[in-house]
Amino acid sequence: MTMFSAVVTTGIYCRPGCGARPLAENVRTFEMAAAAEAAGFRACLRCRPYRVASPVGADAPELVCQAVQLIIRGVLDEGNEAALGERLAVSPRHLRRLFRDHLGVTPDQLARSRRAHFARRMLDDTELSVADVAFASGFGSLRQFNREMREVFRASPRELRGRRRRSDRLAADGGLAMRLPVQQPFDWDKVVAGLAEGAVPGVESVEGRVYRRTIGLDGGPGMLEVHPGSEDHLVLRAHLPYWEGLIHVVERVGLMLGVDGQGGPDSWGPFEGTVRAVLSTDGGSTWAREQLGAIARNFGQPVPGLTHGLTHLFPSAEVLASADLVAAGLPEPTADTIRTCAATGRWT
């Protein structure tokens, strides 16, 4: 578990291993960077704690974990804590109390910190314009982006980009490359072997130590590639139709790979995972993989021009809710279960 150290005399918090040597009586520890920021501390310029993975809610109650997952999916980008509480059938006041007790932050503070940290990594890693970074990170406006970056990092986005180091920028041969922090211990070879075993033909591929898959964004196809970077991060290269909301794509990749040390590898999304679970229950993992490939070929949107065996998007719940799955080779009971799950949203 990553522990962040905050020094009360300087107002700065650091990641483990930072060279700073403050007096022990002046140090407070936090399990999350967001909690340190909520307590009024700012990130160290030397060790840059926004570049490490910070597990969220590992030991928290199930309700808090559910709320965190909704925040990761972007519920608070446009909504508020009242809307989040309504999704979970609790009052905003009770939800804030649970978050403060178990995470040391409110839901809004957690969402703000995750957006700001993602944006800071984008300013370091990429050549995206400041405006593109803002919308890729889930901010609703440039004014909000500038305000929240100043609150978290005590500097404007342009000033922060000016501070990046020569080695920060990732060169990408096509697409947008970015670092994906991982929580140690993390065994990429074990993760990629699990991904290879369950890869959906036409949708996912593993070659060597590189994982690739197709994804859909509002009907537009995209492709992701992940490969090892260094001990504390993977490198994610995204080929997408637009960058708005990129933070949620990256968060989803992190959940799938288990980069926070709390699981993985997993399915790309809950619906795809539900379909896989239904098929595995009815016919085993090998048969399930074959049928997932058949479903993608028959009902998924074709994506021409890709290599590495990638040919289709995995179909959405809306498509499979009315699909003739029996004609694609599935037994009637299995087809009925998948259609029912797709139509009723039991996978959410």
* Tens of pLDDT, residues 215-255: 998 878 999 999 999 888 999 999 999 999 899 999 999 98
CB under 8 Å to 148, separation ≥6 — which residues?
A: 112, 115, 116, 139
Domains of the chain listed by start with CATH number: 4-50 (3.40.10.10), 62-162 (1.10.10.60), 170-348 (3.30.310.20)
Residue 265, token pair as written in the block: 């590898």
Q: Tens of pLDDT along 173-192?
A: 678 999 999 988 899 999 99
- Give the pLDDT mean for 34-43: 93
| C-alpha distances out from residue 185 to 1, 33, 188, 271, 322, Å | 10, 19, 10, 29, 43
Give the distance between the most distant pair of CA atoms in the chain: 70
DSSP string, 170-201: PP-SSSEEEEEE-PSS--HHHHHHHHHHHPPT
Residue 75: pLDDT band (50, 70, 90) is confident
- For residue 215, list its beta bridge partners: 222
Bond from prior residue into 265 cis (ω within 30 degrees of 0): yes
Q: Give the global pTM.
A: 0.86
Do β-strands 42-43 and 12-14 pair in parallel, antiparallel, or remain unpaired? Answer: parallel
Residue 58: pLDDT band (50, 70, 90) is low
